[in-house]
Amino acid sequence: MTSVDSGPELGTAADVLAAHVRDVPDFPKPGVVFKDITPLLSTPAAFGVIIGALADLARERGATTIAGIEARGFLLAAPVADRIGASLVPVRKQGKLPGVTRTESYALEYGTATLEIHEDAVPAGERVLIVDDVLATGGTAVAAHNLLRGCGADVVGLAVLMELTFLSGRDRTGVLDVTSIMKL
């Protein structure tokens, strides 16, 4: 595991994160090693360090809104938004939001998936930081970015706990500025 070289705050957060992520082999299918953040979530001091690092990044980027991607991104985005006094936008799987929504489909290894946000989720010009747990192939991040830009938002970046570099997701995110606390 390597950490992002983006200053002492993220370096410290990377150490804390590495100590609080559990590998679960063969989940959700054989050959996959799932990165379980449950130990992080159940350790208040460690979780606070991670939320603090993400909040610092959001402040540095001038974020006024935090967008959390379903589902583990919600667990990170909500406390970050609260800590910096920003709005929170849930980026949901299709069919989970009432009212008028924007949708964006993206490719998966084995098919497609669709994300959505409320049509009026973000006022034009709002500075949005997208928060999620993992950057893998990049499809989810790109879909979230496209949804937010479609509302007129100024997307100031993507912040993730872990980046699975062997899947090259960063290469697929285009102009989206990506910050990962830990690279695997």
The pairing of beta strand 87-93 with beta strand 65-69: parallel
CA 60 to chain centre: 17
**70 has catalytic annotation:** no
Enclosing H/E stretch for 25: strand 22-25
Give the list of residues 6+ apart from residue 61 with CB closer than 8 angstroms, or none.
127, 129, 156, 157
Instruction: Tell me how far apart the alpha carbons of residues 144 and 126 are, in angstroms, rounded to a whole number.
Output: 15
Cβ–Cβ < 8 Å for 140, 160: no
Q: Which two tokens stand for residue 122?
A: 């973000």
Residue 175, amino acid: V
The single residue of 72, 116, 163, 170 carrying the catalytic annotation is: 72
Where does 44-153 show beta strands of DSSP type E?
65-69, 87-93, 101-108, 111-118, 127-135
**59 has catalytic annotation:** no
The single residue of 22, 70, 83, 109 carrying the catalytic annotation is: 109
Catalytic residue numbers? 72, 109
